Structure 1
Amino acid sequence: MNLFTRRHFLTQIGSFAGATYPAMMALGLLKSAPVHTMDWQGSGQGKKIIILGAGLTGMAAAYELAKLGYQCTILEARDRSGGRLFTARNGATTEETDNGKSTAVFSEGLYFNAGPSRIPHHHQLTLHYCKELGIPLEVYNNINEASYYFSEGKGKLANQKIRKREIHNDMRGYMSELLFKAIDSKQLDTTLSKEDAEKFLEYIRAEGGLNIDNLYKGTARRGYSELPGSGTKTGNYAAPHPLADMIGSGLANPEFFNVAEYAIELQMTMLQAVGGNDRIATELGKKVGRNIRYRTEVTSIKNGSEGVTITYTDNAGQHQLQGDYCICTIPLTVLSDIDHNFSSPVSRAIDKTAYIQCGKIGMQFRRRFWEEDEMIYGGITHTNNLLYQIFYPSNDYLGKKGMLIGYYNFNDRAKQVGDMSYAEREKLAYEKGMLVHPQYEKEYEQKAFSVSWHKTKFSMGGWAIYSDEERKSLYSHLLQPEKQVYFAGEHLSYLNGWMAGAFESARSVVTALHARVSDQRIAYPKVS
């Protein structure tokens, strides 16, 4: 069987040096966020644009439209901007459909990103806006081999925390050993010449850390049982975990697949806004804030032959607002319950598009024990229980207090946890977190704040998800304007769940609307 060819293994290998965003740019290690400009010709002639939602898409659209001479009014149901770009700090509030309101009570200066927390280095448009708005960035340590795998269940390695580097290197070593044997004994037809096959075997030997007999017996890569030091202290590394024990303990199950770290969106270097990602929303809000009407809940969207009429409610009652055009960024799960006169294909797309269920909890600790005791600086611990992931902060290293994201889960796990009360979620995060970090008992300060996005009012989901077939059917109907209404948001991009998706959609819609108003043939180009 032909499993290996030149095409299979000739891949590019690269790495980034960790540094702050300005330093990386100065050293030429990161591009200066080049993006296509929005310097379109023509004027909006004062046309009135009603934008529904003051999330990233809505504010970015208003920001760009204002440059072109449009009058924008943004209606936002919440009392803050940003939408799902939400950093929870002291005094932050959330409201869920069956849990009511919750207010965060954290020490001053502590926070966690309850919404988007990471910026991939190649999301150039997000970086562009950070640069244009003067938002300082810092490295987000997404991948950390010092963090843990914790498999709750049966098996010799179950119910104990194991450094990721141990599992990763042991698995890589055993796979390399097996592959080396198969190729060396010609049990696999690689279609390689003898010379190329020998080079490939040499690569496998190095990649897996095989010994002189081409066997995997462990290396220093997996960590030391006794660290090297001065004098004659050479250091010792423990014997590798047996392959059967890793598999039998569930450490080869989907929860522990390493493929997520291979995804281009999660490859290093990743970045975050210094002080919380809500700074992106805050700085955008400074540009367009005078046009935002907060606590205005849209109840009706009606297209007319010459314009659009929006009905909304606020503390003073019900009102109507008329505009020439409307840009609707409301999540489709929320829009589905709003009265409208859209066509049947558009209505069906709104009603049928699904959003992922997901949730996070932030927990405050009096001491950063993960750094002081366990040498974990950033990164993620993975479990197979309801927590799924524990995130360690990538800021304020060696500070006095700290915040952990006690869980970040999706789908069925998120549903189960989302059905709990706020107090029950905190109890779950504490008890399951104790299995990994017994320090919780002494260091946890009983300060937690959880968000289940699929139950959060005005969001009702984490981000849109589509099958390939739904991209052709549901998705495609929302890419075109519905008379005077344009739809926009991360749900109308191929960057679902990322801030870049919101920004790309905003620019695309601004271009389409301006082309229509100014009677130009212009199109927003794709970023390569």
Structure 2
Amino acid sequence: MEPTQGFSRRELLSWIGKTAGAVAMYQAMTTLGFAAESNFDSKNYELSGAPAGASVLVLGGGLAGMTAAYELRKAGYKVKILEYNQKAGGRCWTLRGGDKYTELGGATQECKFDKGLYLNPGPWRIPYHHHAVLHYCKQFDVKLEVFTQINHNAYFHSTKAFGGKPKRYREVKADFQGHVAELLAKCVNQKGLDQAMTKEDTERLLLVMREWGALNDDDKYVKSVESSLMRGFDIDPAGGLMPEQQFSQPMGRAELLNSTLWKHLNEGHSYDYQATLFQPIGGMDMIAKAFEKEVGSLIRYSSKVTKIDQDDNGVTVNYVDSLNPGETMTETADWCVCTIPLSILGQIPSTFSSKLTSAIRAVPYDSSVKVGLQFKRRFWEEDDHIYGGVTFTDMPIELISYPSTDYHSSGKGVLLGAYLWDENSYEFTSMSPEMRVKKALEYGAKIHPQYMDEYDNGISVAWHRVPWVNGCYGLWTPETRKAHYKNLCEIDGRIVLAGEHASYIPAWMEGAILSSLDAIKRLHQHALQSKKQTA
């Protein structure tokens, strides 16, 4: 159907983008046939017929590295993985009770969570459209459960609004929609859109605004049954001779707009976070463990790469034991898939081309911090009736995420008590692990007063202090992508790079896996062509 009079398709998309944001514009483009969701098809990446005796050395045993190893071995290559840590997975990492972790600077933490409780310091959710991740979860029988991003009973909190008292998501959403709907209805009733829309369209729009904004018969957003059915009641409807229901009072339009709480409304509606989201049952590293079950026999653990060399005949990599550095060991192969994070790779002497070297050095890594807090009871459920979801705040901790599993469990529970970016994460990174936990408690108590009485123990991970990454993810800009991205991804002699940094989905497991599949497909074709030329 063509847009109504007064709007071209281009003008309509521009208007949507300016008023509702890029995500809404993308969705509109999909509807209009200008964009479509990309599809992952495993058949497009099936490899076979490796040159006889050909070998590939994979550097890094994260998801990108293990994907490469798994698929290359199926194709007939001799494969070996060198992994820095004592277990595979890289940033696909879960901390449980008994785990110990030493960050740069020497601070060591021991996780003291109760059995069955955990923190995912890295990836913690899987969008429904991350088809490659879901493909391998299904193939390797990784059990999934729903991750709750949006919870209308969670909080939006600002220290500068409403006396610092948090407001429920549903209250902010309902009141924002209601006030916007009332303004638009007023515009329609005053004939303000008559030149842009037909009479029939304005009548339909008015009906939509009444429904969407919970307006009363006078097209007002006020304390009423309509608004309370959206934002909640002061006293809910009940039974028998229990107290009668009481409608709730909406927030004032000016106060709500000035609070900026509304800016969090899009958090759960953007493409990356739309339902359905998933998480592996038992922790994100269940995915890493499933891969490791398939390719673990190919991995040489505790291997710190110290030099990467290549010539016309193959690749030679020097490495030492990361736990007990001593004698330098050597591994050779015909080809190499390097998934080492660029923040580490740039420090390793390598015979890369000048283009690849420049690309590696052009990508810094972003900063991020997570804090996991174990409490004596699940007070967020028992007291506040919050079952999963995320609370957002303007305090440095930025958000609190409630567990999307084991609802109504007795005993202890673990919250993601902070997830920090930008200047907030730099500040927390400079703190000791214990101070990060203390600060997360202090800030969180302003939203949940139960924090101090119910706190049990905690642990923190600052990604710029993680020894095998030195950062959270590759931070591209439009300018650096234009100048260096293609050079980073192209085969360089006998080496090809893969990982989330070699994708347009940085920081996501999907980006790591897709980049790996693309890299090994091109490497396989290159190896076959090279074999023909030397035959």
TM-score, normalisation: structure 1: 0.89
Partner of 2:506: 496
Partner of 1:230: 239
Partner of 1:89: 96
Partner of 1:216: 221
Residue in structure 2 matching 1:198, options 182, 197, 203: 203
Matched, 1:427 2:438: yes
Contact 2:107 2:433 in 1 (8 A): no
Report how far residue 347 of structure 1 moved: 1.3
CA 1:440–1:257: 2 relative to 1, 3 Å? closer
Matched, 1:267 2:274: yes
SS of 2:164's equivalent in the other structure is coil
Report how far residue 141 of structure 1 moved: 0.6
Residue in structure 2 matching 1:436, options 447, 460, 470: 447
Deviations 1:417-440 (A, max 9, x none): 111001110110111111111111
Report how far residue 317 of structure 1 moved: 2.2
CA 1:248–1:136: 2 relative to 1, 3 Å? same
Partner of 1:331: 341
SS of 1:333's equivalent in the other structure is helix
Give, in whole Å, the separation in 1 of the partners of 2:170 and 2:373: 26
Residue in structure 2 matching 1:163, options 156, 161, 168: 168
Deviations 1:296-324 (A, max 9, x none): 11111112121111111113521121111
Contact 1:222 1:237 in 2 (8 A): no
Report how far residue 358 of structure 1 moved: 0.7
Give, in whole Å, the separation in 2 of the partners of 1:87 and 1:201: 50
Matched, 1:394 2:404: yes
Partner of 1:309: 316
CA 1:92–1:81: 2 relative to 1, 3 Å? same
Partner of 1:290: 297
Q: Which of the two has greater helix per residue?
A: 2
Partner of 1:18: none
Give, in whole Å, the separation in 1 of the partners of 2:194 and 2:345: 55
SS of 2:109's equivalent in the other structure is strand
Give, in whole Å, the separation in 2 of the partners of 1:148 and 1:126: 30
Report how far residue 231 of structure 1 moved: 3.2
Give, in whole Å, the separation in 1 of the partners of 2:101 and 2:7: 52
Partner of 1:526: none
* Stretch of structure 1 that moved more, 488-497 or 230-239: 230-239
Matched, 1:482 2:492: yes
1:443-454 to structure 2, matched below 5 A, reads 443-445=454-456, 447-454=457-464
1:9-158 to structure 2, matched below 5 A, reads 35-153=42-160, 155=161, 157-158=162-163
Partner of 1:416: 427
Deviations 1:318-354 (A, max 9, x none): 1121111111111111111111122222112111212
CA 1:520–1:123: 2 relative to 1, 3 Å? farther
Contact 1:44 1:514 in 2 (8 A): no
Deviations 1:45-103 (A, max 9, x none): 23121111100000011000110111111111111211111111112233322253322
Give, in whole Å, the separation in 2 of the partners of 1:495 and 1:234: 51
Give, in whole Å, the separation in 2 of the partners of 1:371 and 1:2: 50
Contact 1:84 1:116 in 2 (8 A): yes
Seq. identity, %? 37
Contact 1:51 1:58 in 2 (8 A): yes
5+ unaligned residues in a row in structure 2: which ranges?
A: 17-23, 29-38
CA 1:51–1:41: 2 relative to 1, 3 Å? closer
Number of matched residues? 497
CA 1:251–1:516: 2 relative to 1, 3 Å? same
* Stretch of structure 1 that moved more, 135-144 or 491-500: 491-500
Report how far residue 138 of structure 1 moved: 0.5
Give, in whole Å, the separation in 2 of the partners of 1:475 and 1:505: 12
TM-score, normalisation: structure 2: 0.88
Give, in whole Å, the separation in 1 of the partners of 2:142 and 2:292: 13
Q: Structure 2: which amino acid aligns with 1:305?
A: D
Contact 1:302 1:308 in 2 (8 A): yes
Contact 1:3 1:188 in 2 (8 A): no
Matched, 1:244 2:254: yes
Residue in structure 2 matching 1:456, options 455, 466, 470: 466
Partner of 1:19: none
Deviations 1:215-243 (A, max 9, x none): 11133211121111113655223110112
Give, in whole Å, the separation in 1 of the partners of 2:158 and 2:429: 22
SS of 2:369's equivalent in the other structure is strand
CA 1:476–1:510: 2 relative to 1, 3 Å? same
Matched, 1:354 2:361: no
Q: Structure 2: which amino acid aligns with 1:221?
A: M
Contact 1:359 1:410 in 2 (8 A): yes
5+ unaligned residues in a row in structure 1: which ranges?
A: 14-31, 522-528
Give RMSD over aligned pairs: 2.3
Q: Structure 2: which amino acid aligns with 1:133?
A: F
Contact 2:372 2:460 in 1 (8 A): yes
